[in-house]
Amino acid sequence: MTNETVTDESGTPLTFGTAGLRGPLGPGPGAMNVDTVVRTTAGLASWLQARCLGGSTVVVGRDARHGSREFATATAEVLAAAGFDVVVLPRPLPTPVLAFAVRRLRAAAGVQITASHNPATDNGYKVYTDGGAQLIAPADREIEHAIAAVGPALAVPRAPATPTDDALLTEYLARVAALPHGSNRDLRIALTPLHGVGGDTAVAALTAAGFTDLHTVTSQFDPDPDFPTVRFPNPEEDGATDALLELAESVGADLAIALDPDADRCAVGVPGPDGWRMLRGDETGVLLGDHVLATAGPDPLVATTIVSSQLLAKVAAARGARFAETLTGFKWLVRAGAGLVYAYEEALGHCVDPEAVRDKDGISAAVLVADLAAGLKARGRCLPDVLDDYAVEFGVHAGDQVSRRVGHQRELADLMARLRADLPLSLAGDEVTAEDLLARRGALRTDAVVLRGERTRMVVRPSGTEPKLKCYLEVVVDVDDRSGLDRARAEAARRLSELRDYAREL
């Protein structure tokens, strides 16, 4: 989801953002509750009917968070009463299954009840249209206006809607199982769904693809809306993958995989000389992008966002592929252009099969990264070896992220204003120029500042999913040959540390 709504003390209604609603559970119009969901669904139904889509198919799915069952039921019943053919997924399932179902059925829309990796106190309402893609403007504002015109929730008609069977899930699993390029399957995998709904589906997908040496974090496998073993149910957060890496070490795994609670994000862990570590999203992103390009058809396109590493662009050029850069969020990435075969964002989102799922998909990403790792293992290599290859060919691309959590969205505007009033002239010894993306026109206009030098880049922007200010950092250091790799990485680490210090001063 690309928009989290934070309410104020006056109970301001949740804003219908670019993917729907997301906010705290509670009473009143400023929180997620059945009345909010009923009125939102009535507005969505009205918007669809105004576009001559009345009576068409709408798919409804849910995760296992507090309130998700009731919210999904209310959504389906309002749509059924409005005359739509409602397909209700049979149980809590990953968000990518919903996105797949919308595209597979050529549905007019899909609604997934989920708050993704937000805290246990939140829930959300995520909307897909346009062949299974997230909303873009002006649809989000138009639907919000339609919601505002809806009367009291008690006056909105509702009719029964019966859940479907597993047929769509079976089709999704068959599609994912067919994605691998190679035939090697000798790979031991450790897996956690972080108390979310991805566990059973991920195990089924990996098994169907031939990966059967699977070990799961028992304490985090079953869905639990309280997320009891993690502070934040997000594999990006410190400590969230500790249990996974401990399991991977204890069973002698070759690969570790963490999904976020609705399984649309995939984090990858690898062993190394200093123990296990989680790859950054940019590292997994370039590995999967190159793997997809290895078997892509003519004139393929890969894409990432303005805050992601610049490495994929260099790899794509070397492979004869086209590259596109978009604003953050998969609503933009999946619309990057014709011939799109792969897209990723640094926040652990990967779209490896845009023909079937026009959104990030942690399940299919897990299967394809296992395919890549197994093929490398058969040749006596591993994922970090390929990252070394990229460093020698394209330079060391060292990246990190520094963020500050705030209590209210308005604090983010104040922080951005202070930055714009005092832009730096150099970063980590590199002269930089500043570009304010709010001054742009067209598709890449957004609330962000880019500070760019010859070998240094920093992008500062408010988060679209959490009340955070985020600084995305990257330095590039050339490598003469493989013998100079350690020296180049040390220099990159030094410069990256300087960038972190500056970012923290913000």
Annotate 154-217 with DSSP letters as a single string.
GGS------B--SHHHHHHHHHHHT----------EEEE-TTSS-HHHHHHHHHHTT---EEE-
Phi/psi of residue 125, nearest 5 degrees: -140, 100
Residue 390 belongs to what H/E stretch? helix 383-394
Out of 68, 116, 309, 364, the active site residue is: 116
Phi, psi of 238 (to 5 degrees): -60, 130
- R_g of the chain computed on alpha carbons: 22
φ, ψ for residue 220 (rounded to 5)? -120, 10
What letters, b where the CB count within 10 A reaches 16 and e where it falls short, cover 264-293? bbbbbbbbeeeebebbbbbbbbbbbbbbbb
Q: Give the phi and the psi of residue 16 in degrees, each rounded to 5.
A: -80, 100
Residue 250 annotated in active site: no
Which amino acids are annotated catalytic? 116
